[in-house]
Amino acid sequence: MIKGTIFSGMRPTGRLHIGHLSVLDNWVKLQDEYRCFFGIVDWHALTTSFDNTEELQQNIQQMLLDWLSVGIDPEKSPIFLQSHIKQHAELHLLLSMIIPLSWLERVPTFKDQIQQLGSQGKDISTYGFLGYPLLMAADILVYRADTVPVGEDQIPHIEITREIARRFNHLYNTDIFPEPQAKLAKISMLPGVDGRKMSKSYNNDIHLGSTAEDILAKVQMMVTDPKRIKKTDLGNPEVCMVHTYQNIYNLTQIEEIRTSCKAGQIGCVDCKKRLARSLDEMLVPIRERREYYLGRPELLREILAQGAKEAREVTEQTMTLVRAAMNI
C-alpha cells in the first residue's frame, strides 16, 4: 500500500559521487513505499551559479545518468526537469505574494551562504537567492507532497514549507496543501579522499561512473597513518583515511585489516589495493547501467518527457485548485 507522496530533488551542479549514495539508496527504497516525484532542479542551480551556465546542460545529463544508474526507476517514479514544469514557477510566484520577507531572511542558510560565498568573491545577494527556500516549498507543495526525505540540515526548509502551507490554507480558507513531514534519512557524511568535504571542486571525490583505474588513483591519494614507514611498523588505523573507507565499503575484511595493520602485518599499498577492489565491485553494476543509458540518448529524452507529462498532470490539478482559491 502506498504510504503517501514524496517530492525530492537535486541541483545539477556536477557529477554525483559515492558520498551521494546514502541519499540515492534511500530514494530507491522509497520508490516502493511512496508515490515519488524526482526533479532535477535546474532553476535552483541558477540561484548560486546564474553567471556560469555553460556546464548546466551537461550536468543535467550526468545527473540523469547517475540517478538511473543507481536504480531510480522511471517506471515507478517520474523523473523530470524542474524547468519543464512551469507550474513550479507559477506556484512560486503566487506564494511570493503571501510570504513575509522576514520568514525568508531568517532561514539559517541564507546569511551563512551569503557570507561563505562572499568570502570566495561571489555576490549572491539576489532576489532569486533570497527566494530559493520559497521555490523549494513550491516544488514540494505543487505535488501536494506529504513527506520529504531530508537530512538534519534541511529541516528548516521543511519547517518554512509547513508554515507557508498553513498560511495559504488559512488565508484562503482551504485545505489544498498538506503540511509535509520531514522523513529523516540517515545520511552519512563521507569525507573526500584528502579528508576535506567530498566535492568535485576539490578533486577529492570518487564519482559514480569511475573506472577501476580512476578508483585506484583516488585511493592512492588517501593519507595513511603518517608514523608508518614500512610494513612491519605497528599501525594506527584510527588516523587513516583508507581505514575510514574500509569501515564503510569493505566490511567483510575490515576486522582482519584492522588487526593486521596494528600488528604490522599488512602494507599500506596492499591495503589500498583491497579498498580499491571493493569500491570497484560496488560500482560495477552502477557503471554497467550507466553505460546502458549512455548509449541510448533517445531513451533518456523519452524518460524526461514521460516524467514531465506525469508531473504536469499532477501539478496542473494543484494549480487549478490554487487559482480557484485565490480567485485568479
Contacts to ligand SF4 by CB under 6 A: 224-225, 228, 235, 237, 240, 242-243, 257, 261, 266, 268, 271-272
Rounded to a whole number of angstroms, the minimum distance from the CB of residue 200 to ligand SF4 is 25
Q: Which helix (DSSP H) or strand (DSSP E) does residue 70 occupy?
A: helix 56-70
Nearest-approach distance from CB 222 to ligand SF4, in angstroms: 7
List CB contacts of 283: < 8 A, sequence separation 6 or more. 18, 208, 209, 210, 215
Residue 144 C-beta: closest distance to ligand SF4, Å: 50
Whole-angstrom distance, CA of residue 64 vs CA of residue 80: 9
> Taking a C-beta distance cutoff of 8 angstroms, is the pair 37, 145 a contact?
yes
Task: Pick between residue 54 and residue 255 the one whose CB is nearest to ligand SF4.
Answer: 255
The CB-of-193 to ligand SF4 minimum distance in angstroms stands at 12
Which lies closer to ligand SF4 via its Cβ, residue 20 or residue 243? 243
Q: In the bound complex, what is the minimum distance in angstroms from residue 248's beta carbon to ligand SF4?
A: 13
DSSP secondary structure letters along 117-146: HHHTT----SHHHHTHHHHHHHHHHTTT-S
Question: Judged by CB, which is closer to ligand SF4: 261, or 325?
Answer: 261
SS3 content of the chain, % helix, strand, coil (to 5): 60, 10, 35
Which C-beta is closer to ligand SF4: that of 77 or that of 224? Answer: 224
Q: Residue 56 has which C-alpha cell?
A: 548546466
CB closer to ligand SF4, 183 vs 243 = 243
Measuring CA to CA, which residue among 136, 183, 129, 127 is closest to residue 163? 136
The smaller minimum CB distance to ligand SF4, of residues 63 and 257, is found at 257
What does each C-alpha distance from 40 to 232, 237, 265 come to in angstroms? 50, 39, 48
DSSP summary character for residue 107: -
For the CB of residue 195, give the shortest distance to ligand SF4 in the complex, in Å.
13
